[in-house]
A and B are shown apart, each in its own frame.
Chain A
Amino acid sequence: MIKKFDVVIVGAGGAGLRAAVEIPKEYSCAVISKVFPTRSHTGTAQGGVCAALSNMEDDSWENHAFDTVKGSDYLGDQDSIEVMCKDAIRAIMELEHMGMPFSRNEDGKIAQRQFGGHTKPADMNDPYGKRVSVKRACYSADRTGHVMLQTLYENTIKNQVTFFSEYFVTELLMEDGVCKGVVAFDIATSELHIFQAKAVLIATGGYGRVFRITSNSHAGTGDGMALVYKAGLPLEDMEFFQFHPTGLWKLGILVSEAARGEGGILKNKDGERFMIRYAPTVMDLAPRDMVSRAIITEIREGRGIRGSDGTDYVLLDLTHLGKEVIDDKLPEITGFARTYLGVEPTTDPIPIQPTAHYAMGGIPTNVNCEVLLNEDGDIVRGLYAAGECACVSVHGGNRLGTNSLLDLVVFGRRGGKAIHEFLKTASFGDLNENAGKETNGTIKKLMDSKGSEKISNIRTELQNSMMEDCGVFRTDEGLRKMISKLKELRERFKNIAVQDKSRVFNTDLVEALELENLLLNAEATVYSAYARHESRGAHTREDFPVRDDQNWMKHTFAFWKEDQDPELKFKPVVVTRFQPMERKY
């Protein structure tokens, strides 16, 4: 069935919903989401969304921009970072005006707290001297993402946006470098629909599910990135995947950095506050890549704690904060520790380990969310991307906490605005009569297959080996191993069987399609990591331990090639006002 909309937005998380709110009513707009909108991953975000509001102490957008550039290990494009940090204050006010419930300070303004990597100069007259942590993260207890997602969804209801919930997008309709729509199937009925559109915005979130230990939802399989990749368009900087230092041991469920922002401390088995040795000034509030490496190093050097199942962890100690702070400011995450590990955070430290958390890389776009065709910056007509699936790149090699929720609302809105502008002159093109045939074929093949491979086995093996060989620390040997593992898994995937043959709500089929996407995203990640012979941000090569600005101040662009290794190309980093410096905290 063919449906026609001026705009199709794929994804109903923070980025997709914010974009939807921006499309004026005179244009028809459909939002497609594989889960009901309020089930989107944005709702799990806990800690905050940042802007230099100066509600608690003096701050400036320039401080914020400097931190973001430094946090990115100088891989972030500074023009995009300036756009985001300048617009941040307006974006937060807008959320407040939309009705988002924030925690407040004594003056009734939005309250702010500290977060990793957010600093300001200790002495205002010495802007590049010693820096101290600053209260920049706006929050709503530890449910910031939840109330933000609810607020945005509420605003789409007010604006009467059309939703296609529990529809799974399988294919981009690309013809001659122009995007003409998407193909989706209705999960409830298995019926295929062609959504013809003048403009498509992809806002499908991240792919943390490619790793065994992750904070990401089951839906976090990076479908949008994989669709774009398979359509022959590049994926940028996929080697940069953030591991958050504090996931609940074994489960990966996130304990927000807000816990350390409020004063929580990391300790090893000797009870030592080990971050003193790794980041003497900001300690536990150093950026995530550094803290995750520190934790793994402690464990490797025998200072972790061995758990009942033979895996290791370190401790996050909140006991000194007192019951009141814990109950008021961190109710949700301390609840997780109680429910899932049986630990009482007011009296006992919480066992934690690094957890795969955030994709810095993704679909390359310019600051107007237009998707790039190549490393020269040419754009794909009619195709936009925003949110975690996109790479603008504001996060570079390592994202600072609270910068993602900000990214969603700043670039979600910019994407919506750019599309509005585009629609003034755009028209529907002709659709190729073969549109949808490919998805039809893929699904038929999966459903008819009598193969012997199990979806869950391939997925588990992928997640285990990605954790092992493409995780916090990487080596040439490990990545080679991972490359051959991927080849093996891709072969085996051809022999996969969808055992549920029903056409009604077939989640077995959904999992098969998601697995293919995970394999595609893993491919782009591993090959990009293999090629980057340096350590920068979250990408740590033990065989190339230092950052190499001479050769690697550039973004990786990976292109999919059928039955071949992907092709890698490179695009220089945009540097405006901040020259690369050594990254010390």
Chain B
Amino acid sequence: MDIQVKILRYNPEKDNEPYYQDFNVKGVSEDWRLLDVLHEIKWNYDSSLTFRRSCAHGICGSDGMKVNGRNRLACALLLKYINTKKPIVIEPLPSLPIIKDLVVDMSSFFNKYEVVKPYLITNTPPPPDSERIQSNEDAEKLFESAKCILCACCTTSCPSTWTNENYLGPAAMLKAYRFINDTRDEGADERLDILDTPDGIWRCHTIFNCIEACPKEINITWHLSQLKKRISSREM
């Protein structure tokens, strides 16, 4: 089948501002990924079309972009799940500076991630020749948050991020959860202090945009609400 695709293009060397370009892509099939469509365009219509991608199966987090108004991974979205009767509108992730076409500058996203101390903090040395003991139940409590692929679909879809660029955002706080709730970690207090600040967790108004956007189907707000509870009970 043939489909219409409308892509937001921007090359800072020649464009004053972004503009939409239409492509009529021929011979696609409904089991194609949207990423396959982008490749088809790049390889057969316009080689200058620019986007990031690597794994092509939803695990590296490279190709977050806005598709028909919603943040998605191009490689995890099949055409059969999109209305192809109308043009598919593809734009870069919102609220981050555009470098070129669908490639955005992710540095502020990763800076926020580093703020929450995304690594195990311990004072107690581990047993020299064996693992720390952790029940499978406790381990599995971390798995959902550890599943995050840092694609930024959530943070860039969050209204609180749009209105306050300093807001830590869901992805960074989810990472904080992953360590705060690790029975092996001893840095919970330091991290809770970071979250319990004006640009921290209280800016989350549980609007659920982030969950909508998460390609790994992580229940982000549930994790954030656990963190809020933890902070509140700490203050009691």
Task: Report whether chain A binds chain B.
Answer: yes
Q: How far is the CA of A490 from the CA of B229 in the complex (A)?
A: 63
- Measured in the bound complex, the distance between the Cα atoms of B184 and A341 in whole Å is 39
Cβ B55 vs Cβ A99 within 8 A: no
Task: Tell me the complex Cα distance, A242–B28, Å.
Answer: 31
Chain A 515-546 near chain B by CB (<8 Å), digits 1 or 0: 00000000000000000000000000000000
- A39's contact among B33, B43, B62, by CB below 8 Å, is which? B62
B136–A111 CB distance below 8 A: yes
- A140 CA / B31 CA spacing, docked (Å): 30
* Stretch binding the partner chain, chosen from A270-278, A358-366, A418-426, A502-510: A502-510
Interface residues as binary, A168-207 with B (CB distance below 8 Å gives 1, 0 otherwise): 0000000000000000000010000000000000000000
Known: A108-B136, A140-B143, A143-B147. A508 touches B48 (CB 8 A): yes
Contact A104 B136 (CB under 8 A): yes
Check B54 against A41 for contact (C-beta < 8 Å): yes
Q: Do A340 and B57 touch (CB < 8 A)? A: yes
Q: How far is the CA of A110 from the CA of B52 in the complex (A)?
A: 36
B78 near A454 with CB under 8 A, answer no
Quick check: B184 and A217 within 8 Å, CB to CB?
Answer: no
Q: Mark A204-224, 1 if CB is under 8 A from B, else 0.
A: 000000000000011100000
Q: Which of B123-131, B154-162, B197-205, B218-226 has 4 or more CB atoms under 8 Å from chain A?
A: B123-131
Contact: B139 with A38, CB < 8 Å?
no
Say whether B131 contacts A39, CB under 8 Å: no
**Bitwise interface map of B from 69 to 105 toward A, beta carbon under 8 Å scored 1, else 0:** 0000000101000000000000000000001100100
Task: Quote the shortest CB–CB distance from A342 to chain B (angstroms).
Answer: 8
Is B182 a contact of A99 with CB atoms below 8 Å?
A: yes
Shortest CB distance A87–B (Å): 13
Give the shortest distance, in Å, between A508 (CB) and chain B (any CB).
Answer: 4
> What's the minimum C-beta distance from B57 to chain A, rounded to whole angstroms?
5
Q: Are B119 and A39 in contact (CB under 8 A)?
A: no
> B47 an interface residue at 8 Å Cβ cutoff?
yes
A282 to B51, CA, bound (A): 45
Contact B134 A35 (CB under 8 A): no
In the bound complex, how far is the Cα of B46 from the Cα of A507, in angstroms?
Answer: 12
In the complex, identify which listed stretch (A151-159, A257-265, A294-302, A381-389) lies at the interface while the others stay far away: A151-159
Chain B residues close to A by CB (< 8 Å):
11-14, 31, 33, 42-44, 46-48, 50-62, 76, 78, 99-100, 103, 106, 110, 114, 118-120, 126, 129-136, 138-140, 142-143, 146-147, 149-150, 179, 182, 184-185
A–B Cβ pairs within 8 angstroms, 17 of them: A35-B60, A36-B62, A98-B120, A99-B120, A101-B182, A104-B135, A104-B136, A105-B136, A108-B135, A146-B59, A217-B56, A219-B54, A332-B59, A341-B31, A502-B48, A506-B50, A507-B51
